[in-house]
């Protein structure tokens, strides 16, 4: 039986591969969309999906209760829910669910699936997932039951439950961002009957404690996904994921592209060649390659100056774990101590040594601008009057001379910094930083190390890293999603970087609790100023999104581009067609 199953999968994969080889001619019922990128895909389980590489696939296999329409990020629309009502001072929500929807297995979608999904997210709530902000809304804490003993089964089961085929949420406090949180693909509704059959949590009180904080990256749902989305999995290996349109998809408008292949192609030149030949429809490449090698070529279309709602910066770990990027583990020129970045003057030295103007000129071709805060400047709360940190080697030198009471300057250091393998822009940024740091003092050495994406984002590995690029695309359209994520001691990055700032925590908590827009703006400005003074991140400049695609792909446009969707084109595959 195993051999027959593998043969069927192999044949399906072969047929899709052959379709890809004839990609220039493919269209209509047998069309194939080919996507090439450098990153691997960590997981296909929505319960732990928290990166854009995984998200772009999961959001096409699974669906949420609500979602976005067109390029509007201000208001959510019905998806698996058809309507909802808020009551009890906006602390209770009742969702009417869509009838006639089937999962990829053929199972019917019911309220029990939504209840199971949301409870599973609250129970597991691992450090690798985005379930912290769901838990924050429904349980009043971002933690799971291992870290917060006040969480009980009674709290979880009363926070989300079915009343017939109506899904009911009960919140402990008002959360203006709750609906947008439900639009995040991490809340994609899973096939509960299928999940239980393949060995996932059984959904009961008797076993829930066994699943608290359980690592879902390699879960059975990761291996055998079943959603209600327009595409279902055919096969997956280390270098490619193949999907096909789901014949039983519920929406009136069916997906027009039959097959999708996402390929991991580490070499940039190979991706460019495939794209120019028409063997790939979408590819991951930096702006400089688009303008110098792609734009103006036959069959190539480019969307530019699209909204950018991401924020990124090089983080500095204030307590690097043993076995990590420590070298000798001492301040002796051959390594660094674990708390090397605990001294703010070390951090200030790195910040002042990063040449933002040159990066904008070389990598972003003069587009974009320096940022003063890890919050998109298009979001409320960004204070454009606060000047961004300056590239100034004299300031960097002075900071390093003060650091560790002068020991950093006298003894020097050797540090390993990591970037995502295949990400040329990250590599260039690291090289700029390395060049300027090493020019300050011959005793300073920066070693740049390329690592796989799945390795870098794994919560078990992050504590061992000294410096990585910490980037964020919004889970929900509110400034708190960025500010808490980057700057709160209990946020996504705070525990990983061992950063703890009580003053920032106080301001962040107040900003989250008030609906007074003016007061929120004032608080976020104060947070930005203090975070800049303490130099918690080397902040990357803002950059407009640019997207190359083959011109025979229809459905890609600035009018429909939605930055809340993980996929690069800003729309779902079901909205695309191929001529």
Task: Report the distance separating Cα 160 and Cα 192, nearest Å.
Answer: 15
DSSP H stretches of helix in 22-72: 52-61
How many residues appear in the chain?
579
H-run or E-run covering 484:
helix 479-487
Compute the distance between CA of residue 525 and CA of residue 384 in angstroms, rounded to an integer.
Answer: 9
User: Would residue 21 count as lying in a domain?
Assistant: yes
User: Is 282 part of any domain?
Assistant: yes
Q: What is the spatial distance between Cα 450 and Cα 49, in angstroms, rounded to a whole number?
A: 23
Going by C-alpha positions, the residue among 209, 327, 274 that lies closest to residue 37 is: 274
Residues 384, 294 share a domain: no
Other Cβ atoms less than 10 A from the Cβ of 242: the count is 24
| 504, 487 Cβ separation under 8 angstroms | yes
Rounded CA-CA distance 406/92 in Å is 57
My answer on whether 31 and 143 are in the same domain is no
User: Is the residue at 217 inside a domain?
Assistant: no
Cα separation of 578 and 567, whole Å? 17
Instruction: Judge if 280 and 326 occupy the same domain.
Output: no
**DSSP state letter for 291:** I
List the domain range (segments joined by +) for residue 15.
1-54+230-307+545-579
Domain assignment present for 415 = yes
Same domain, 373 and 402: yes
pLDDT for res 568: 62
Per-residue buried b or exposed e for 30-57, using 16+ beta carbons within 10 Å of the residue's own CB? ebbbbbbbbbbbbbbbbbbbbbbbbbbb
Identify whether residues 318 and 449 lie together within a single domain: yes
pLDDT at 72: 83
Please report the pLDDT score of residue 229 as a whole number.
98
Whether 413 and 489 map to the same domain: the answer is yes
CB-based contact 247:255 (threshold 8 Å): no
Place of tokens 């530019």: 304
CA pair distance 123, 442, nearest whole angstrom: 51
- 């999962």: which residue's tokens? 103
User: SS3 string of 373-416?
Assistant: CCCCCCCCCCCCCCCCCCCCHHHHHHHHHHHHHHHHHHHCEEEE
Q: Is 404 left (phi over 0), alpha (psi -120 to 50) or beta?
A: left
Task: Give the model's pLDDT for residue 111.
Answer: 98
Is there a domain that residue 125 lies in? Answer: yes
Compute the half-sphere exposure of residue 447: CA atoms within 13 Å on the CB side of its CA: 15
Q: Note whether residue 370 is domain-resident.
A: yes
Residues 6+ positions from 99 with CB-CB distance below 8 Å: none
Note whether 107 and 164 are same-domain residues.
Answer: yes
Note whether residue 283 is domain-resident: yes
Same-domain status, 412 and 504: yes
The distance from CA 506 to its chain's CA centroid, rounded to whole angstroms, is 26
Could you tell me if 315 and 444 lie in one domain?
Answer: yes
Question: In the 8-state DSSP scheme, what is residue 210?
Answer: G
At 425 the pLDDT is 87
The confidence score (pLDDT) of residue 176 equals 82
Tens of pLDDT along the chain (579 residues) come to: 323 333 333 333 333 444 444 455 455 557 999 999 998 999 999 999 988 889 999 999 999 999 988 888 878 999 999 999 999 999 999 999 999 999 999 999 999 999 999 999 999 999 889 999 999 999 999 999 999 999 999 999 999 999 999 999 999 998 888 999 999 999 999 999 999 999 999 999 999 999 999 999 999 999 999 999 999 999 999 899 999 999 999 999 899 999 999 999 999 999 999 999 999 999 999 888 999 999 999 999 999 988 778 899 999 999 999 877 788 999 999 999 999 999 999 999 999 999 999 999 999 989 999 999 999 988 889 999 999 999 999 999 999 999 999 999 999 999 999 988 888 888 999 999 999 999 999 999 999 999 887 888 777 788 889 998 888 888 888 899 999 999 999 888 888 889 999 999 999 989 987 878 899 999 999 999 999 999 999 999 998 888 999 999 999 988 888 888 866 678 999 999 999
Long-range contacts, stretch 359-363, CB < 8 angstroms, 24+ apart:
359/428, 359/429, 359/432, 359/540, 359/541, 360/541, 360/543, 362/288, 362/428, 363/286, 363/287, 363/288, 363/425, 363/428, 363/429
341 and 296, same structural domain?
no
Q: How many domains does the chain have?
A: 3
Check which CATH number belongs to the domain holding 156 and give it: 3.90.76.10
The answer to whether 165 and 174 are in contact (CB under 8 A) is no
Beta-bridge partner residues of 468? 315
Give residues with Cβ within 8 angstroms of 500, minimum separation 6.
489, 494
Q: Are residues 258 and 351 in the same domain?
A: no
Specify if 224 maps to a domain: no
Q: What is the rounded distance in angstroms from the CA atom of residue 50 to the CA atom of residue 403?
A: 36
Q: For residue 265, give the CATH number of its domain.
A: 3.40.190.10
Residue 545 pLDDT: 87
Query: Of 14, 142, 251, 176, which Cα lies nearest the Cα of 493?
Result: 142
Which residues lie closer than 8 Å to 133 by C-beta, 6 or more apart?
A: 142, 181, 184, 475, 476, 481
Tokens (6 digits) for 9:
């999968």
**Same domain, residue pair 526 and 571:** no
């Amino acid at each position: 039986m195993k051999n027959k199953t593998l043969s069927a999968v192999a044949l399906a994969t072969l047929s899709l591969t052959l379709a890809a080889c004839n990609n220039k001619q493919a269209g209509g019922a047998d069309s194939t969309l080919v996507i090439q990128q450098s990153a691997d895909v960590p997981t296909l389980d929505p319960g732990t999906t928290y990166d854009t590489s995984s998200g772009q696939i999961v959001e096409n296999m699974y669906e949420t209760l609500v979602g976005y329409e067109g390029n509007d990020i201000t208001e959510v629309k019905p998806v698996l829910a058809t309507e909802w009502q808020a009551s009890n001072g906006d602390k209770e929500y009742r969702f009417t669910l869509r009838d006639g929807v089937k999962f990829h297995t053929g199972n019917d979608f019911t309220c029990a699936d939504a209840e199971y999904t949301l409870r599973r997210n609250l129970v597991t709530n691992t450090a690798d997932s985005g379930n912290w902000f769901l838990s924050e809304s429904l349980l009043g804490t971002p933690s799971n039951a291992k870290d917060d003993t006040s969480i009980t089964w009674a709290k979880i089961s009363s926070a989300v439950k079915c009343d017939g085929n109506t899904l009911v949420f009960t919140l402990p406090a008002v959360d203006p961002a709750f609906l947008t949180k439900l639009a995040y693909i991490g809340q994609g509704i899973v096939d509960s009957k299928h999940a239980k059959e393949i060995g996932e949590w059984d959904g009961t009180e008797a076993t829930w404690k066994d699943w608290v904080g359980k690592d879902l990256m390699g879960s059975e749902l990761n291996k055998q996904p079943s959603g209600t989305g327009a595409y279902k999995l055919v096969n997956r290996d280390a270098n490619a994921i193949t999907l096909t349109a789901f014949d039983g998809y519920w929406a009136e408008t069916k997906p027009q592209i039959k097959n999708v292949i996402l390929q991991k192609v580490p070499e940039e030149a190979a991706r460019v060649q495939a794209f120019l030949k028409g063997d790939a429809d979408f590819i991951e490449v930096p702006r400089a390659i688009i303008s110098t090698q792609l734009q103006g070529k036959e069959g190539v279309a480019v969307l530019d100056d699209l909204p950018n709602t991401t924020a990124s910066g090089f983080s500095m770990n204030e307590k690097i774990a043993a076995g990590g990027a420590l070298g000798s583990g001492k301040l002796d020129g051959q390594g660094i101590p674990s708390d090397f970045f605990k001294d703010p003057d070390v951090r200030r030295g790195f910040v002042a040594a990063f040449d933002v103007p040159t990066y904008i000129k070389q990598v972003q071709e003069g587009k974009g601008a320096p940022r003063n805060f890890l919050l998109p400047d298009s979001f409320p709360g960004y204070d454009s009057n606060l000047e961004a940190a300056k590239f100034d080697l004299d300031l960097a030198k002075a900071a390093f001379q003060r650091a560790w009471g002068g020991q950093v300057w006298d003894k020097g250091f050797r540090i390993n910094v990591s970037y995502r393998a295949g990400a040329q822009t990250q590599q260039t940024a690291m090289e700029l930083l390395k060049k300027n740091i090493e020019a300050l003092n011959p005793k300073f050495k920066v070693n740049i190390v390329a690592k796989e994406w799945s390795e870098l984002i794994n919560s078990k590995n992050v504590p061992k890293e000294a410096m990585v690029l910490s980037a964020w695309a919004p889970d929900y359209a509110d400034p708190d999603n960025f500010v808490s994520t980057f700057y709160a001691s209990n946020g996504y990055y705070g525990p990983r970087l061992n950063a703890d700032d009580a003053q920032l925590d106080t301001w962040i908590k107040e900003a989250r609790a008030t609906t007074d827009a003016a007061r929120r703006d004032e608080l976020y400005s104060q947070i930005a100023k203090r975070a800049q003074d303490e130099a918690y991140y080397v902040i990357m400049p803002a950059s407009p999104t640019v997207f190359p695609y083959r011109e025979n792909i229809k459905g890609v446009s600035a009018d429909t581009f939605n930055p809340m969707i993980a996929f690069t084109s800003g729309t779902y595959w079901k909205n695309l067609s191929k001529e």
